[in-house]
Chains A and B, each alone.
Chain A
Amino acid sequence: MPTGYTGKILRVDLTNDKVATEPTKMEWAKQFIGGKGLGAKYLYEELKPGTDPLSPDNMLTIWTGPLVGTMVPLTSRYVVITKSPLTGTFLDTYAGGYFAPELKYAGFDGIIVTGKAAKPSYLWVNDGKAEIRDAKNVWGKDMFKTEELLRDEVGHKYARVAGIGQAGEKLSRIAGVTSDITRNAGRGGAGAVFGSKNLKAVVAKGSLGVEVPKIDEFMEMAKQMLWKDVVENPDHAGLITDGTPIIVDMSQDAGILPTNNWHTGQFDGYLGIDSDALKTRVFVKKKACFSCGIACGSFAKVRDGLFKGSSTEGPEYETLGLAGSNCGVKNIEAVVKFSEDCDRFGLDTMSAGSAVGFAMDIYEKGIITKEDTGGLDLRFGNEEAYAKMPEMISLRTTKIGDLLAEGTLRAAKAIGKDTEKLVIHSKGSEYPAYDPRGSIGMALAYATSDRGADHNRAWPVASDAYGDGDPWSTDGKAAICHEEQIMKSYKWSMIYCDFYGVSDENMAMYYTAVTGLPADADWLKAVGVRVWNLVRAFNVREGFSRKDDTMPDRMATEPLPSGKTEGKTVSREAFEKMLNEYYALWGWDEQGRPTKKTLEDAGLSDIVGTLDYL
């Protein structure tokens, strides 16, 4: 067994109340590493196509990676991999904090949960052992209270808890998994998969540790890298001083800051929600995840006013954009409260922010009224009403809360009246906070992201809106998406944090230092191509193809009104051109399906027989 892997996977069958330990399939780990890749392989092999994501048959899997728990910087994330109840696609959703190393120290590379418990339950994992326990004391409670109570129950003050608030229990398709109070595997509705299985949480405590070869040399290397490649790396400077909120001003300047449900790309109240507002009004202290020297996170607390006492970690840029400007909210204190309640009740701040922005839009248009909102005057910028929304969505109180809990697209379909055109999404996943009308590459990145619209698979906005590229030229955008999707696929399989600007050579060097297995940049790239094609094949097998790799009509038909993006749209022709180029780069057919040759070249010959179209 190579070091870095525990060599054990925990199998949990909730229907039959059984736990078992099995060896990690190392022949798969050598091809797919861990995290995203290894989880995708297990899901592809074991999940029956067409499975309802909220049925007992869906697999809920949680993965660490070989570097987790070591001194390799910025490798403390876990990933929840399942079939998404929001999009119906493959879902991989990540969180940092402290849960991942704890799970590793408790002895497991991953956990695979199937079935549905007869009653609310939680999973207690401790030093190679696990048991399914009764969750009656925490079911119905929020995640802040749940963490506290479960730590008491297992008798470890710092047991780590990843679980769901009421949103997940009530099967909200925008419910996330909360760990360490403020860290979220937020996107895609993983929290609802927990809820559908009557699984409240996974609680981990471990003291088995992780061994590496030649530990003295390893520690010296890791120490040098922590200083040279992390703390003193100029690419990390903005993350160290500000964190992601620094992007608010950049997006405002570029005219791509989603505002009032994507009707404008600039927000006149942006100075109330930007990084300076955070630093001067609510900042308490910088906060890192385990093994991170950057500490992009800010613990923030509201000092006075309506939301006095509310606290959160962040808010991060996506929250400030989607739940700030996109809801017309111009005071960071209100966003802190919104973010806190999303953590408390277990909602994805991104989807929830988008959903509330949409609700405000249709409220102002008179499509919904106070009868639907429980009497709230849900105008853009009404902070008092806005701040009540995470609780209403999570508890499904009021008509609008209950509808939005299904995600914005399903809510619009239920409401009808042509509201679907107001939803800005791809595959049902609400767009992240970069308007493609001033960053055309993002239209392609969102359309081709494996879990529905997303910014963590490719981020062409860095060069086209924030850099010196052309935000409206399609040139090279397919290539950026292609290259970054490959890179992110191996980076998420290792599992590094997005914010470590680590070179391929160093990534390979760390992997070899931890596992003793050979690696180089070419091998990493091959793994990335393999993982992305495998996930694409998963989605194709579920019925996804070109028809689903879409951009909402408003991006093509509704020009932005001000700033650098004034008058700008993304034309249908430009979008389709990028998509054609993108499929060609990947070696997929015109319907966006991997060809037999592409799969064989990627080392995926064994799945060719599983795909009907081949």
Chain B
Amino acid sequence: MSKGLKIELEKCIGCNMCALICSGSHVGKFNPSESRINVEDVFPEPGEFRLNYCTQCDEHPCVEECPAEAIKLDEALGIYYVDKEECTACGLCVDVCPHNGLWLDPSESHAIKCDLCGGTPKCIEVCPRKVISRGE
């Protein structure tokens, strides 16, 4: 079982509160482009929201493919994170991820992805429809 966020997508209303608090807590300003969770509104066809985020999948091709070995294991949480000092922003991880789980930040200086806020993801607390959980 993966260790990432659990999402009940059908409850999502597209408000972007997750992306606001994520960017606020990771980069100190409100900027969904720098959020580690990304909300897509796909209307009128097929008429749904999509949430892109790192599922912390077991296969983690991003880790395997990273030429700089910049995606590292957080041993305490048992999840992978991007070490931005070592990331060269080559974008290979973005290409190989089957879940649209990570992307380059707007300055294209490094890849960004969910790090579970050190164990207590802030997006969970602010989602007004309780779409996001740890799944326990």
Residues of A whose CB lies within 8 Å of any CB of B are 69-71, 98, 101, 105, 144, 158, 180-182, 206-212, 215-216, 218-219, 222-223, 226-227, 230-231, 284-293, 295, 299, 301, 311-313, 340
A71 touches B20 (CB 8 A): yes
Which residue from chain B places its CB closest to the CB of A144 in the assembled complex? B44
Which residue from chain B places its CB closest to the CB of A340 in the assembled complex? B44
| Residues of chain A with a CB closer than 8 A to B47's CB | 284-285, 299, 301, 311
B15 lies within 8 A of chain A by Cβ = yes
Q: A223-B126, A230-B128, A293-B128 are in contact. Are A207 and B29 (CB under 8 A)?
A: no
**Partner pick for B34 among A181, A209, A212, A299, CB 8 A cutoff:** A209
Q: A69-B30, A295-B13 are in contact. Are A181 and B25 (CB under 8 A)?
A: no
| Residues of chain B with a CB closer than 8 A to A292's CB | 13, 15
Cα distance A211–B30 when bound, in Å? 6
B14 touches A287 (CB 8 A): yes
Q: A230-B128, A286-B13, A295-B13 are in contact. Are A71 and B24 (CB under 8 A)?
A: yes
Q: A69-B30, A208-B31 are in contact. Are A223 and B41 (CB under 8 A)?
A: no
Shortest CB-to-CB span from B14 to chain A, Å, is 5
| Residues of chain A with a CB closer than 8 A to B17's CB | 71, 226, 291, 293
Q: A71-B20, A180-B41, A299-B43 are in contact. Are A210 and B13 (CB under 8 A)?
A: no
B33 touches A291 (CB 8 A): no
Residues of B whose CB lies within 8 Å of any CB of A are 10, 13-17, 20-21, 23-25, 27-34, 40-41, 43-44, 47-48, 106, 122, 125-126, 128-129
B128 touches A231 (CB 8 A): yes
Shortest CB-to-CB span from B123 to chain A, Å, is 11
A285 touches B48 (CB 8 A): yes
Q: A208-B31, A210-B31, A285-B47 are in contact. Are A291 and B128 (CB under 8 A)?
A: no
Cα distance A270–B28 when bound, in Å? 50
| Residues of chain B with a CB closer than 8 A to A312's CB | 44
| Residues of chain B with a CB closer than 8 A to A289's CB | 15
Cα distance A212–B44 when bound, in Å? 34
Cα distance A227–B16 when bound, in Å? 15
Cα distance A16–B62 when bound, in Å? 50
Shortest CB-to-CB span from A109 to chain B, Å, is 16
Cα distance A327–B15 when bound, in Å? 34
B44 touches A209 (CB 8 A): no
Which residue from chain B places its CB closest to the CB of A127 in the assembled complex? B106
A291 touches B29 (CB 8 A): no
B128 touches A209 (CB 8 A): no
A211 touches B25 (CB 8 A): no
B15 touches A291 (CB 8 A): yes
Which residue from chain B places its CB closest to the CB of A343 in the assembled complex? B44
| Residues of chain B with a CB closer than 8 A to A207's CB | 31, 33-34, 106
| Residues of chain A with a CB closer than 8 A to B24's CB | 71, 215, 218-219
B13 touches A288 (CB 8 A): yes
| Residues of chain B with a CB closer than 8 A to A209's CB | 23, 27, 29-31, 33-34
Closest 5 CB pairs of A and B: A209-B31, A293-B128, A207-B106, A207-B33, A295-B13
Cα distance A263–B1 when bound, in Å? 64
Cα distance A218–B24 when bound, in Å? 10
**Partner pick for B44 among A218, A286, A293, A311, CB 8 A cutoff:** A311
| Residues of chain B with a CB closer than 8 A to A295's CB | 13-15, 128-129
B128 touches A71 (CB 8 A): no
Shortest CB-to-CB span from A278 to chain B, Å, is 15
| Residues of chain B with a CB closer than 8 A to A182's CB | 43-44
